[in-house]
Structure 1
Amino acid sequence: MNNNRMKTLWLHVAAIALFAGLALLFCSPVLDGKALFQSDMMHHQGMQKEALDFYNKTGEIPMWTNSMFGGMPTYVIFTGPPVTAIWYLNKLFTLWLPNPADMLFVNMLGMYLLLCVLDFRYWIRILGAIAYGFATFSVISMETGHITKVMAMAYMAPVLAGIILTYRGKWMAGACLTAIATSLLIYNNHLQITYYTLIMVVGLVISTFVFALRAKQLPAFFKASALLAVAAILAILPNMDNLLILKEYTHYTIRGSESELSGKAKGQSGLDVEYAFQWSYGPGETFTLLVPGVVGNSTAEKLSVHSNTYKALTTLGVPAVQAEQLANSRRWPLYWAGQPMTAGPVYLGVIICLLTVLSLMIIRSPHKWWWVAVAVFAILISWGHNFAAFNNFLFYHLPLYNKFRAPTMALVIVQVSFVVLACWALQELTDNKLPKAQLMQALQKSAVITGGLVIGVAVFGPFIYSFSGPNDATILQQYTQMLGSKEAANTLMAALRKDRSSLLLRDGIRALALIAIAYGVMWAYLKDKLKAAPALIVLTAVVLFDLFQVDKNYLNEENFMNPDRLATYISPTAADEKILQDKTPYFRVLNATTNPFLDANTSYMHKSIGGQSPAKLWIYQDLIEHQIAKNNRAVLNMLNTRYIIASDPSTGQPVAQFNPQALGNAWFVNGIHWAANADAEMSAMDHFNPADTVVIDRRFQAQVGGLAPAKDSSAGIVLTKYGLNDLHFSSHNAHDGLAVFSDIYYPAGWKAYIDRQETDIIRVNYALRGLKVPAGKHDITFEFRPKTFITGRRIAAVSSWVLLAMVAGGLLWESWRRLRR
């Protein structure tokens, strides 16, 4: 018994070593000290720079930042050092490997754990783990810097493993695994992946209930379910530092509330459906699961000197050397389907798809159907606006579904399900419980179906598809401007369409070859020409070769760079350097050389009017749409926009333009324009002088009372101390006045004090803060100390150690019980 346990232990160690080795091999530049360039992480650096600098300088946890969208909470950007012990587990399970090898490793490890619980053969577990970790959705997400997404994906399979183990009667081990895996899933803070995991859990629980009902085992089902509910609570509590504050914050954002303006849809909080469904997979695009080049690879692809595009460029008179440089510049939009842009397809591997088809034919257990059902459901979800009748209904009726965007992300459910079904098919194939003749017949049908789909999509595709997409009109316009001739642009577009066709045909032929190899290996096994272990090892190698080769199109040596170069990637322009010479502690900058509301690089150096965040405050989003986007200078002035970065018409280089009309950090006004509602408040700002008049919605009239604001000729307010959680001002005015502050109004945590006496903060000019200030000289302080944040951190700190102690105790008890047997 002990020998068997030691052998099992060493097999697990070998698997872990293999996964770590493969992760480091794929990400080999990290061994030379290089770091992965991740575009979204570069934006994240800009987003959190001010908060991180504040923490490093003061040691105080920043809860607010002024570097994005005029000011917003840091809860989705930076919250200081972790207080939960779950952080240590998260690092432990990645073996402290360098990024992105850590993400690749932990995704393989997570799937391996699930396949162990399902009691599959050793090499089947290895195959499934590799297939899950190297699926292109994972690797492309790593390359773009979607770290929280990929880390959350790693714990989807272990959560399911824990639940399955519990329902199988291994209550203590199952509950402990469920609690730890769920806590890690939530800790990695990608709510959309957590939501999709919950969909899979619901499918599993419903399926288990149905079978328990039929088998008259409902008492055991409900006991296990109650234990899992306790495990879920224990998993949630260590993450309350994040969950509580996000719940509060979401109430004010575009993801969890609705605009006050009547022009926006009412009665449905959450995202706008058109915005949420921008990244929708098309029904035909779904075949990328099988053949990656069905609709092209990405919207920024390299081409070779053998491409039709290269030949077209030379035909149009571009010198060969320059044409080669252009072709190899990674700018060619081979992708031609309906998404605005994409870094690459969701490809699971043609062999995984072949085995999934086989699983439908040979798996006798009815439990397979819940895996199939959630996969089909996810595919339908991924179609978004391309299946509007179904998905619009879900958007408006499925709880919390309208908080998320990018329906394509639902294909992560398919990634989990297909890998499990594929491995299950191999388990059935090698169990020898079905006649080999029956298995051979099923294998032949699966190969014919899968190969037929490949032939229909890829081989005949060039004769069926136009290889033109909805984005091609814009691309043609760009080529016309680049070449100076519409005829030349049409020639280049025709060549591009030929390259799209060639890509599909190439991938189709490759897929057929891989199907033939996989079929040959399984045929040899069923004909007793190959033992199970060697057959599985060969299949594992072929799956790895398939995915490894495709993945290298998206994550390769070119994506890595020396850390010193990466550290200076966001470098100041001459315009930035000019602004940085201004030592005024607190003003804002508008970068008009780019889309300021999709740009976090400016936030790296300045307090920006723009930024990048999927969870902007609604009041600021309304201000963007109705005022800032229309270049309302009065609104820019009230936001203390001291500099505008614009392009120099003569050189095209960014220059910093000083705005002398910026109103500063605070000022007194002479009058109030009362607005009947939010619409009137916003409209009143179309033409107003914020230095003299403030616009207030009548809802806040009780806070203002009968004040008739006034100011003497020398009245003023001066910022005396700047901080992210505190702002200090000194004011003087001979009259009772109304002060306007250029800071963003946020009622969940900000408090104001005049001479240490708390006073109401009034929402003014739709998005700013206002205070009633008595006559005389006063010290004014704003403090941001949200109780929710502080309470959440206390709960998380204590409960995380309680969770670890309970899990450790449970596992020790389980081990002791086994030893007594």
Structure 2
Amino acid sequence: MNKHQMNTLLRHLAAVAIFAALALLFCSPVLDGKALFQSDMMHHKGMQQEALNYYNTTGEIPMWTNSMFGGMPTYVIFTGPPVSAVWYLNKLFTLWLPNPADMLFVNMLGMYLLLSILDFRYWIRILGAVAYGFATFSVVSMETGHITKVMAMAYMAPVLAGIILTYRGKWIAGACLTAITTSLLVYNNHLQITYYTLIMVMGLAISSFVTALRAKQLPSFFKASALLAVAAVLAILPNMDNLMVLKEYTRYTIRGSESELTRTQQDKAGLDVAYAFQWSYGPGETFTMLLPGVVGNSTSEKLSARSHTYKALTSLGVPAVQAEQAVNSGRWPLYWAGQPMTAGPVYVGVIICLLTVLSLLIIRSPHKWWWVAVAGFAILLSWGYNFAPFNNFLFYHLPLYNKFRAPTMALAIPQVSFVVLACWALQELMSGKQSKAQLMQGLQKATVITGGLVVGIAIFGSFIFSFSGPNDASILQQYTQMMGSKDAANTLMAALKKDRSSLLLRDGFRALILLSIAYGVMWAYLKDKLKALPVLLVLVAVVSFDLIQVDRHYMNEESFWQPDQLASYMAPTAADEQILQDKTPYFRVLNATTNPFLDANTSYLHKSIGGQSPAKLWIYQDLIEHQISKNNRDVLDMLNTRYIISPDPATGQPVAQLNPQALGNAWFVKGIHWAVNANAEMSAMDHFNPADTVIIDRRFQSAIGAFTPAKDSSAGITLTKYGLNDLHFTSQNTGDGFAVFSDIYYPAGWRAYIDHQETDIIRVNYALRGLKIPAGKHDIVFEFRPKTFIVGRKIAAVSSWVLIGLVAGGLLWAGITGRKQGLHL
């Protein structure tokens, strides 16, 4: 290794050390043994607890869980120990840092790699890496527990880096980098971010094709593209354990299929458009990338004793101490735009915005336009229902797009593009390719444009905007109930609007100060009053200060909890303790103290009727909408809902009520009601006695035949063994009978055996399993052994090591042959 190579290596190691130090400093409570409280991760803990306990007890990988929505495949929330070697690479690239420092670090590292491939100056790379890692959208996502999203975002930039390197003619190194980073992107299992990455890849490919066409180098373009296609296949194979089961499972969920009930909301398989577009950014809300407080910060904010809300409370007779406690409670909705709720804005930094505008004015390379185009396209996507003609068309025609929700997430694309364009602008500013007079003119225009936007939105907007939103009516109603007076509620609402205005005004003045500093140091450089290094160091410091100061509003010391605090969050209530005394191995619980279908905490301790999942089985979603939400007790009984948790009218505390009508795990029926279709099947459940009658769609009649089920006084079915992958029963009946099992019907993997002979599982009561059982005494076994899961894990295990071997061999071969396939670092 020569001196230049050693210096380059040391500089990269220094960058890694800077990123690790920044990540740990920002997340310093983890060094004291604390952990970040992430609400979504607490829900996830509830989702997978039954599966985790089963695995720890039996050593067997659970493939089904009964802890949510009456039952669903486990492998969408818990897959047991990893079989893919990509897992080790994922941990390696995070340096095994504690959560969430690991996510901050790998996001910075990924952007640094892309900027290195683009051959930007060292401190420009550092600036871009910090800007990307600490972008508020990422930090807010970390705080709420969207781990797979943030980890997938970390690999967006490196995937682009590998493709750029390949199209530059560094075929082996580029293909190897593309294969590894794409595999890591897919491994982190956030398909929506992967989809957005593909949009960026398409933009890059089109730009590269046009460049090759103009340069008459199409053969090289197609060779590189073919090599990238091979890299993509190699990247996907190690993730087949997840991809195969998700593809299969999606066919039965609200993400990838249609309800069997006649509906008008959907034209094709996938989510309902209104549901998918709930979290849509408004056109004006897009300016949060420049000013975080344009439409308020979030729907749950703390205020200070200097706030208008505090003054309003005290003027209404609330004691000062109580008023201060109230404003510090973190329950004040400063957010006033159209999303149902939000944890924080998408803020990329005012200086990054300035530099992005500057890039449009001074960069002459045509390659900048694909970065601009994908950013613009993503912004339009993020508007969702606010730009309905465009987005509705895409929802129904763009392949796979209707599988996703939350259009706001598309802003992950401009988060990448803005940082790259901003860094490119700095690189151009200091490259010496243009005269400083031209660059000064561009800088002045960019500053006027950016500063003008800040003044127009924040300063003048504070006097123009109404600071009222579509959610304010419900907020006013809450205040009326809280204050006991509509006049008092109006006073409080008026004060809240003033606080919203003050937030925007404060952000505006802050942005102007930061813009002045950035403009000042770049002006000094162009006037030869400062060298490049001090200018870049100042910009790194100011960008870091800007983003971290905003980020601290969402992730700070209070966000980290002691281990005992986290444990107490999931601690059982008195109602839970009462239910846990019941040693019956298998029954279900309905928690009516909350919205049971947005709650996975109940699943931590019980087998819940509810749960939290954006990919519920359609049959269960239909059951929720048409029966459970209407409190059909017959349906709750057939689901073996043994306990209902409800608030005590006197104390408000949760209490557990035994439901003596719960039908148990299985029972024989006396008669069959044949429904002509799914709609008739669902309608028949409005009024029926599930203990005696079963409702079956006629399409299953050929599997059962024409018979009248027998049920004598001694007939019964008993659960003899409970497991997540298998259930064992014994049955006794003097005649041929038909049994209903309170388990969710799922044809992709469940098999039933009567005395070791496989028999058809019939879907009954729209969502449950049924069996035709011969007279006499029998052993009945249900087994869940989906071939896709088993085969997928084998493919992933083998191909992941093949991928690592090929990549290692490719890089070694490139080095030995001296073809200089290395990186432009």
TM-score bracket for this pair, using the shorter chain length: over 0.9
The alpha-carbon deviation at position 800 of structure 1 amounts to: 0.1
**SS of the residue 1:769 aligns to:** strand
The change in CA–CA distance for 1:304 and 1:266 in structure 2 (over 3 A counts) is closer
Matched ranges for 1:22-33 at <5 A: 22-33=22-33
Q: Distance in 1 between matches of 2:266 and 2:253?
A: 15
Give the distance between the partners of 1:274 and 1:787, measured in 2 at CA.
Answer: 35
Q: For residues 700 and 819 of structure 2, what CA distance do their matches in structure 1 show?
A: 69
Residues 234 and 803 in structure 2, CA contact (< 8 A), matched pair in contact too: yes
**Is it true that 1:637 corresponds to 2:598 in the alignment?**
no
| TM-superposed deviation, 1:564 | 2.2
The answer for the alignment partner of 2:461 in structure 1 is: 461
> Match of 1:738?
738
1:5-20 → structure 2 map (5 Å cutoff): 5-20=5-20
Name the residue aligned to 2:756.
756
Q: Paired residues, what number?
A: 821
Structure 1 residue 186 and structure 2 residue 186: aligned? yes
Q: CA deviation at 1:266?
A: 4.9
Does residue 478 in structure 1 map to residue 478 in structure 2?
A: yes
1:438 paired to 2:447: no
Q: Which residue of 1 aligns with 2:795?
A: 795
Partner deviation per Cα, 1:463-500 (whole Å, 9 max, x = no partner): 11000000000000000000000000000000000000
> What amino acid is aligned across from residue 111 of structure 2 in structure 1?
M
CA-to-aligned-CA distance 1:388-408 (integer Å, 9 cap, x gap): 010000000000000000000
Mapping 1:577-588, distance limit 5 Å: 577-588=577-588
User: Cα deviations across residues 779-813 of structure 1 (Å, max 9, x unaligned)?
Assistant: 00000000000000000000000000000000111
Question: C-alpha distance in 2, partners of 1:137/1:147?
Answer: 12
- Counterpart residue number, 1:655: 655
- Contact kept in structure 1, 2:739 and 2:771, CA below 8 Å: yes
Aligned residue for 2:337? 337
1:658-692 per-position Cα deviation (integer Å, ceiling 9, x unaligned)? 00100000000010000000000000000000000
The aligned counterpart of 1:603 is: 603
Q: Map Cα deviations across residues 412-462 of structure 1 (whole Å, 9 max, x no partner).
A: 000000000000000000001100000000000000000000001000011
Distance in 2 of aligned mates of 1:462 and 1:415 = 27
Contact 2:124 2:427 in 1 (8 A): yes
1:224-283 Cα deviation digits (max 9, x unpaired): 000000000000000000000000000000000000000354540010000000000000
Whether contact under 8 Å (2:814, 2:820) holds in the other structure is no
Q: CA deviation at 1:815?
A: 1.4
**1:711-745: per-residue Cα shift (whole Å, max 9, x none)?**
11100000000000000000000000001000000
Q: Secondary structure at the match of 1:600?
A: coil
Secondary structure, aligned partner of 1:731: strand
Give the match for residue 110 of structure 1: 110
Structure 2 equivalent of residue 404 of structure 1: 404
Report matched runs for 1:271-310 at 5 Å. Answer: 271-310=271-310
Letter in 1 for 2:488: A
Using the alignment, how far apart are the partners of 2:444 and 2:348 within structure 1?
21
Q: Map 1:677-756 onto structure 2 (within 5 A).
A: 677-756=677-756
Is the contact between residue 382 and residue 407 of structure 2 (CA under 8 Å) also seen in structure 1? yes
8 Å contact kept, 2:266–2:273: no
Tell me how far apart the structure 1 counterparts of residues 746 and 31 of structure 2 sit (CA, whole Å). 46
Q: Which amino acid aligns with 1:144?
A: T
Question: TM-score, normalised to structure 2's length?
Answer: 0.99
Distance (Å, rounded) in 2 between the aligned partners of 1:266 and 1:184: 34
Change in 2 beyond 3 A, CA 1:329/1:160: same
Render the CA deviation track for 1:156-202: whole Å, top value 9, x for unaligned. 00000000000000000000000000000000000000000000001
> 2-side partners of 1:508 and 1:816: how far apart?
56
Partner Cα separation in structure 2 for residue 270 and residue 770 of structure 1? 28
The 2-side partners of 1:253 and 1:138 are apart by 28
1:627 matched to which residue of 2?
627
In 1, Cα distance between equivalents of 2:75 and 2:54: 15
Deviations 1:366-395 (A, max 9, x none): 000000000000000000000001000000
The SS at the match of 1:460 is helix
User: Which amino acid is 1:541 matched to?
Assistant: A
**1:201 maps to what in 2?**
201
> In the superposition, relative to structure 1, how do residues 675 and 819 fare at CA in structure 2: closer, same or farther (>3 Å)?
closer
Amino acid paired to 2:654: P
Deviation digits for residues 65-108 of structure 1 (CA, Å, limit 9, x no counterpart)? 00000000012210100000000000000000000000000000
Paired residue secondary structure (1:166): helix
Structure-to-structure mapping, 1:173-322, within 5 angstroms: 173-322=173-322
Matches within 5 A, 1:356-435: 356-435=356-435
Task: For residue 75 of structure 1, give the secondary structure of its aligned residue in structure 2.
Answer: helix
Cα deviations across residues 613-635 of structure 1 (Å, max 9, x unaligned)? 01000000000000000000100
The AA in structure 1 aligned to 2:8 is T
Q: 2:640 is matched by which residue type in structure 1?
A: N
- Deviation >6 Å, runs of 4+: none
Aligned to 2:152: 152
User: In 1, distance between residues paired with 2:570 and 2:358?
Assistant: 50
Confirm or deny that 1:143 pairs with 2:143. yes
How far residue 819 of structure 1 moved from its aligned partner, in angstroms, is: 8.1
Distance 1:339 1:173 in 2: 44
- Deviations 1:319-377 (CA, angstroms, capped at 9, x unpaired): 01111010111110000000000011000000000000000011010000000000000
In structure 2, what is the Cα distance between the partners aligned to 1:644 and 1:561?
Answer: 31
1:526-580 deviations in whole A, cap 9, x for unaligned?
0111111111111011000000100000000000011122123111111111000
Q: Which amino acid aligns with 2:727?
A: L
- Whether 2:777 is the aligned partner of 1:777: answer yes
Question: Could you tell me how far apart the structure 2 residues matched to 1:767 and 1:32 are?
Answer: 49
Identify the residue that residue 558 of structure 1 maps to in structure 2: 558
1:426 and 1:591 mapped to 2: Cα distance? 56
Distance 1:819 1:760, change over 3 A: closer
In 1, Cα distance between equivalents of 2:700 and 2:669: 17
Distance in 2 between the 1:746 and 1:586 partners? 19
Q: Which amino acid aligns with 1:757?
A: Q
Cα distance in 2 between the residues matched to 1:568 and 1:249? 34
* CA distance in structure 1 between the partners assigned to 2:505 and 2:444 by the alignment: 24
Letter in 1 for 2:6: M
Aligned to 1:493: 493
Counterpart code for 1:201: V
Aligned AA (2:199): I
The answer to whether the 8 A contact 2:755-2:778 is kept is yes
Amino acid at match of 1:732: Q
SS in 2 for 1:151: helix
Asked if 1 retains the 8 angstrom alpha-carbon contact of 2:278 and 2:340, the reply is yes
Report the alpha carbon displacement of residue 707 of structure 1 after superposing the two structures with TM.
Answer: 2.4
| Distance in 2 of aligned mates of 1:744 and 1:44 | 21
Q: Output the CA distance in 2 between the equivalents of 1:670 and 1:400.
A: 45
Supply the distance in 2 between the matched residues of 1:648 and 1:355 (Cα, whole angstroms).
58
Alignment of 1:530-545 (within 5 A): 530-545=530-545
Moved more, 742-751 or 207-216: 207-216
1:591 aligns with 2:606: no
Identity in percent: 83
SS state at 1:431 partner: coil
- One-letter code of the match for 1:790? I
Give the partner amino acid of 2:324. E
**Corresponding residue SS for 1:777:** strand
Contact 2:266/2:272 (CA < 8 Å) preserved in 1?
A: no
Distance 1:113 1:185 in 2: 15
CA RMSD of aligned residues (A): 0.9
1:87 matches 2:87: yes
Aligned equivalents of 1:280 and 1:36: distance in 2? Answer: 27
